[in-house]
Structure 1
Amino acid sequence: MSNKFELEKSVTDAFLRSKGVTRYKLIRPESDPPDIIVQIGDKLIGIEVTLIHNSQSQIRLENSYIKVFSRVRELLIKSGIDNLVIRVESEKIKGLQMEKCAEVIVNTCLENLNRIGYRRTELIKNPIPGIKKIVAFRMDEAGIIITFDSRSNTFGPLRSDRIESVIEDKIRKLNKAKQEAPKQHSCLEENWLLMTIAGTFYSNYAGVADDRLSISLENCYDRIFVYHEKKNWIKEISAGLKVV
């Protein structure tokens, strides 16, 4: 799926099914916003889909570990390993020694290779600053997979100020669109904001810090959701006008 609409359609489809909605039609709108129109019976709902990151520091951390994981895969393949899943519980640290982390992960796996089976096996705790735990297991098909440990709470909840910032930006965008194309928006019975969590495949986001937020603009969305597609959880957000 290379174009934006198909990606947004896929996310919306997964979101609706996670909510238990099974009968609906997804329609491409004439202009943006909304990103997609959902028809449920005779009701038309405009949905604005946006990716939300925990923070720029989170993104940098993930990118650093992606490089570590790539190096681990390279070293393991050279060692003749071809069917292993490794999950690393990482921690935030300044000046991450990427090459050293990669060597520690590889050496830990090689030293414990005989006891790694098809069940999740804990190999080591706190071997080096930046890594809290390394676990591994084998799989039937050939391949090396290295990811973040999905059971860890390393990255914590999404901060309220980050979510508030996204909501306010989308409110401005929707209000402007309603002014410029009132006829198109008059046919929509509701407008939803769908914020989807972005990041690497096994990045752990424990939820949202607060589901009742105070924002500086009057909310024009009927419903606001945070949705984690990989972990399949949905949190509805209540956004009220901040009292000055």
Structure 2
Amino acid sequence: MLNVPQAQADRYQRFADLSDSVGEAVDAIAGLSAAERTDVAFLEREFIPALGLNDELLREQPPELSTSFGKGLHLWQYPSQLAPYLAWLARNVSGVSSYMEIGCRWGGMFILVAEWLRNSGADLKTVIAVDPIDPTPFITTYFELLRERAEIEPVYLQAFSTAPVVSAYVDRVKPEFVFIDGDHSLRGAMLDHLLVRAHARIIVHHDVHSQACPDTTLLWTALKEFEAPIFDTFEFTSQYPSVGGSFLGIGAMKRRSA
């Protein structure tokens, strides 16, 4: 049995009971047409809520989406932000061969983005999830599916991103697309950015417009200026009026061609 506290063990069991959601999501993503992958209204109002949304810190979640809370992939995202981000990815990931997510937690976002890349013109050879917790049932199920269905190497690095095993892997694989959602301190998020900056074509930061995460919000503001000579930046930060405040936010950087 996993060596985790009881509350987390209960959570693991819950995701084990929901593991069929992984295959269902993989099939649903594969079934989208090219037009649907860039249809922001469809993705926001229909597709993303159907995949299932997070049920934690519900005070930060729009109540109008309550029928999707605690279901499926448990995506901790606002559909109003995630939809245009996915549409942007569909137009910008051609040829990407490796995807790394720093801070994958339960794994829903990792699964969604990896499959989005696989169905949007990327040439994925490797997907890497980094997190200090044990691989969750979602991650385990997804890796089994990848081994059965695709010639993609799935890698789980159970470690903090500052661990030598992670930097050694980054130096060896040189991941082209990295999603940063790990340590939310200013120092931690900056170190994650510097860890992959030399290699990545696309770097995406999470929680870039959030009153709950002032350090990552500040870092994104700084990175937009400091990285302007090398990267183009794109923001997906739409908020819901029904929520009292600003939360989450996705910031993407794409390296300019030489």
Please confirm whether the aligned pair reaches a TM-score higher than 0.5, indicating the same fold. Answer: no
Q: Structure 2 length normalisation: TM-score?
A: 0.26
Question: If you compute each CA radius of gyration, which structure gives the higher value, 1 or 2?
Answer: 1
* Higher helix proportion (structure 1 or 2): 2
Q: Structure 1 length normalisation: TM-score?
A: 0.27
